[in-house]
């Protein structure tokens, strides 16, 4: 086990927390948005939390790879049309090998445990968003719910883009803290 892995407890989420600022800088430089960077790093923490308990040889590199992959996923989601890349629950692939069935089905649907965990996290986030100050909640819901750009929100609410960024940052940090607290209590 590497020196870093020896210094960090048996949880990858602690690795993300330890390198949180470095991850923000790393992703922020690649995407050019502090808000997107925070979203990606928050999702990195969630993925690390749900990862197997074994610490890889280089946990820092591992969480940076998770973040980089999530950023790539973010770009694919936001730069491809939903009609072309819809959410699949089954993938059928024709088989070209003799003796094998003509169709191989791969089930990509989440397990019941994954669905239950996601529903619990959604409840936590919903409660957190409801508890936000009114303006912060409004901005966050416009950004995440209505998928408006920060510029569109700033124009609609007659505030600066920086103010919109600050509200979104605050909301995301509160969501992250709530999820951390909920996971620590379990």
> 0.85 cut: is pTM over it?
no
We find that the CATH architecture of domain 110-186 is Orthogonal Bundle (1.10)
Six-digit token string for 155: 């124009």
The position carrying tokens 């408006």 is 148
Q: How high is the pLDDT of residue 83?
A: 37
pLDDT at 80: 52
Cβ atoms within 10 A of the Cβ of 93, count? 10
Question: In the chain, what percentage of residues exceed pLDDT 90?
Answer: 19
Scanning the structure block, which residue is given the tokens 């430089």? 29
pLDDT at 7: 39
At 156-180, the pLDDT tens digits run: 999 999 999 899 889 988 988 888 8
Q: Tell me the pLDDT tens digit for each residue of 79-136.
A: 654 433 333 333 344 444 444 444 444 444 556 776 677 788 888 888 999 999 999 9
Domain range summary for the chain, segments of one domain joined by +: 1-81, 110-186
Residue 175 has a pLDDT of 87
Are 41 and 67 in contact by the 8 Å Cβ rule? The answer is: yes
What is the reported pLDDT for 159?
95
β-strands 90-94, 103-107 pairing:
antiparallel
Cβ-based neighbours of 110, under 8 Å, separated by 6 or more: 118
Identify any residues that bridge with 93 across adjacent strands, giving them in sequence order: 104
Give residue 100's pLDDT: 44
Per-residue H/E/C for the chain:
CCHHHHHCCCCHHHHHHHCHHHHHHHHHHHHCCHHHHHHHHHHHHHHHHHCCCCCCCCHHHHHHHHHHHHHHHHHHHHHCCCCCCCCCCEEEEECCCCCCCCEEEEECCCCHHHHHHHHHHHHHHHHHHHHCCHHHHHHHHHHHCCCCCHHHHHHHHCCCHHHHHHHHHHHHHHHHHHHHHHHHHC
Q: What are phi and psi for residue 103, nearest 5 degrees?
A: -130, 135
- Is a pLDDT exceeding 50 seen at residue 9? no
């Amino acid at each position: 086990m590497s020196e870093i892995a020896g210094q960090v407890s048996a949880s990858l989420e602690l690795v993300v927390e330890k390198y949180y600022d470095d991850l923000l800088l790393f992703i922020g430089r690649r995407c050019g948005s502090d808000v997107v960077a925070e979203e990606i790093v928050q999702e990195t923490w969630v993925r690390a939390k749900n990862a197997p308990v074994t610490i890889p040889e280089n946990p820092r590199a591992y969480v940076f790879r998770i973040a980089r992959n999530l950023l790539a996923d973010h770009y694919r989601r936001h730069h491809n049309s939903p009609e072309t890349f819809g959410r699949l629950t089954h993938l059928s692939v024709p088989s070209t090998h003799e003796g094998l069935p003509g169709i191989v089905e791969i089930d990509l649907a989440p397990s019941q445990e994954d669905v239950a965990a996601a529903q619990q996290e959604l409840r936590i986030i919903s409660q957190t968003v409801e508890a936000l100050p009114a303006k912060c909640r409004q901005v966050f819901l416009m950004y995440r719910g209505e998928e408006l750009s920060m510029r569109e929100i700033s124009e609609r609410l007659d505030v600066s883009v920086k103010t919109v960024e600050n509200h979104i940052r605050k909301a995301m940090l509160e969501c992250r803290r709530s999820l951390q607290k909920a996971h620590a209590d379990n």
